[in-house]
Structure 1
Amino acid sequence: MFLGRLSARLWGGVAAAALAVAVTGCSASGGGSTTEAAACDSPGVTADQVKIGLVVTDSGPGSAAFDSARSGVDARIGLANQEGGIHGRQIVYEWRDDANSPSQNANVTTSLVQQDSVFGLLTVTAALGDSLDRLAAQQVPVVGFAQPDWGKYQNFFTYLYAASPDTIGRYIQASGGTKVAFVTTGTSAFTLQVMARYQAAFRAIGLGTTDAISYASSTDSPARVVQQISAAGADSMIGFTTSGDFAAIAQAARAAHLDLSSSVALTGYDHGLLPTLGPALSGVSFPVYFRPFEAGGAAIDRYRAAMTRFAPETFVPEQQFAMHAYIYTDMFLRGLELAGPCPTREGFISALRKVSNYDAGGLIAPINLGNNASQPLNCYAFVKINPAGNAFQVVHERLCADGTGN
Structure 2
Amino acid sequence: MFSRRRTLCSVLAAVSVGAAGLLAGCSSPEASAATGCATPGVGAQQIDLGVLYPDTGPAAERSDAVRGGIDARIGEVNAAGGVHGRKVVYQWRDDKGSATENAMGARDLVEHQNVFGLIELSVAASGSARYLADRGVPVTGLAHEQVWSTMRNMFAFTYVTGVAVDTQGQFVRSQGGRRAVTLQPALSAGISDTADKYARSLAASGIPVVDTVNFTPNVDNPAAAASRIVAAKADTVIGLIPPDSLVGILSTLRQAGHPPKVVLSGNGYDKRLLETFGAQAAGITVPLVYRPLELGGPAIQTYLEAMNRYAPQVAQPENDSSVLAYISTDIFLEGLRLADACPTRQGFIDRLRAQNSYDAGGLISPISFRTGAGRPTTCYSFVQVNGSGNAFLVVEPDLCGNTL
Q: TM-score, normalised by structure 1?
A: 0.83
Partner of 1:13: none
Aligned to 2:12: none
Which one of 146, 151, 171 corresponds to residue 149 of structure 2?
Answer: 151
* Secondary structure of the structure 2 residue equivalent to 1:206: coil
Paired position in structure 2 for 1:57? 54
CA distance in 2, matches of 1:219, 1:115: 36
1: CA distance between counterparts of 2:109 and 2:125? 14
Residue 257 to residue 76, structure 1, CA distance change in 2 (3 Å): same
In structure 1, the gaps of 5 or more residues are 1-28
Match of 2:290 in 1: 290
**Range 259-268 or range 55-64, more displaced:** 55-64
Which secondary structure does the structure 1 equivalent of 2:199 belong to? helix
Would you say the 8 A contact 2:149–2:373 is kept in 1?
yes
Q: What is aligned with 2:159?
A: 161
d(CA) in 2 for partners of 1:342 and 1:287? 40
**Equivalent runs, 1:208-247 vs 2, <5 Å:** 208-215=208-215, 222-223=222-223, 225-247=225-247
Letter in 1 for 2:276: T
Which shifted more, 268-277 or 95-104? 95-104
How far apart, CA to CA, are the structure 2 residues paired with 1:130 and 1:189?
11
CA distance in 2 between counterparts of 1:128 and 1:193 reads 13
Which of 70, 83, 94 is the equivalent residue of 2:67?
70
356-365 or 376-385, larger mean C-alpha shift? 356-365
Tell me what 1:308 maps to.
308
The alpha-carbon deviation at position 165 of structure 1 amounts to 4.7
Counterpart in the other structure of 1:382: 382
- Aligned residue number for residue 370 of structure 2: 370
The 3 A distance-change label for structure 1 pair 339 and 271 is: same
Q: 1:252 to 1:97 in 2, by over 3 A?
A: closer
Query: CA shift at 1:129, angstroms?
Result: 2.2
Query: Which residue of the partner structure matches residue 32 of structure 1?
Result: 4
**What are the ranges of 5 or more consecutive residues in structure 2 without an aligned counterpart?**
8-26
* Distance in 2 of aligned mates of 1:46 and 1:189: 37
Alignment deviations for residues 248-290 of structure 1 (CA, whole Å, 9 cap, x no partner): 2221232233353322111211212222233321111111121
Structure with the greater relative contact order (CA < 8 A, sep ≥ 6): 1 or 2? 1
Q: CA deviation at 1:202?
A: 1.8
In the TM superposition, what is the alpha-carbon distance from 1:188 to its structure 2 partner?
Answer: 6.4
1:261 corresponds in structure 2 to 261
Give the conservation status (yes or no) of the 8 Å contact 1:240–1:266. Answer: yes
Corresponding residue for residue 118 of structure 1: 115
Partner SS, residue 331 of structure 1: helix
Out of 24, 44, 47, the residue aligned to residue 44 of structure 2 is 47
TM-score normalised to structure 2 length = 0.84
Query: Do the aligned partners of 1:34 and 1:88 also contact (CA within 8 Å) in 2?
Result: no
Whole-angstrom distance in 2 between the partners of 1:72 and 1:259: 35
Give the aligned partner of residue 176 of structure 2. Answer: 176
| Residue number in structure 2 paired with 1:330 | 330
SS at match of 2:281: coil
Taking the aligned partners of 2:94 and 2:221, their CA distance within structure 1 comes to: 34
1:178-221, CA deviations, whole angstroms, 9 ceiling, x for partnerless residues?
33333444586765554344323322222243122455666765
Taking a change above 3 Å as real, the CA distance of residues 254 and 133 of structure 1, as seen in their structure-2 partners, is: same
Match of 1:130 among 115, 127, 130: 127
The one-letter code matched in structure 1 to 2:313 is E
CA distance, structure 2, for counterparts of residue 203 and residue 219 of structure 1: 30
1:135-188: CA deviation from partner (whole Å, max 9, x where unpaired): 212211111233222322111111122285521111111112233333444586
SS of residue paired to 1:280: helix
1:96 partner letter: R
Shift of residue 314, structure 1, vs aligned partner: 1.2
